Amino acid sequence: MSEFKNVTVVKNANVYFEGKVTSRTVLFADGSKKTLGVMLPGEYEFGTSVAEEMEVLAGKVEILLPGESEWKLFDGEGSFFVPANAKFKLKVHSVFDYCCSYLAG
């Protein structure tokens, strides 16, 4: 079972879309940050400030990356990058468990 060791976890959840999207913030010794989150089925749009790597831990989800016209399907695995200051869309088909890494600017 994959784990993050020697980290700091912020106790309170981050809550979006009336709780259909929630995450917890994990802080690493090197100053980097990730969030571990869950999205329930639905359609969402998010904006980035810094670049993000999204890793699919579980769930079936389609992603529309900025500047693209074709949705990409992920089924339980894989990852994708979103540039800084960009918007991306998701169609979540089954409970989407993810790890989002915030990439330093």
- Identify which of 65, 60, 67, 66 has the alpha carbon closest to the alpha carbon of residue 95: 60
Examine residue 100 and tell whether it contacts a second copy (CB under 8 A).
no
- The contact pattern for a second copy, residues 44-73, with x = CB under 8 A and - = no contact, is -------------xx---------------
Which CB sits closer to a second copy, 4 or 81? 4
Q: Contact at 8 Å (CB) between 105 and 84?
A: yes
Among 44, 64, 79, 97, binds a second copy (CB under 8 A): 97
Examine residue 85 and tell whether it contacts a second copy (CB under 8 A).
no
Both structure tokens of 36: 């571990």
Write out the H or E segment, with its range, that includes residue 42.
Answer: strand 42-47
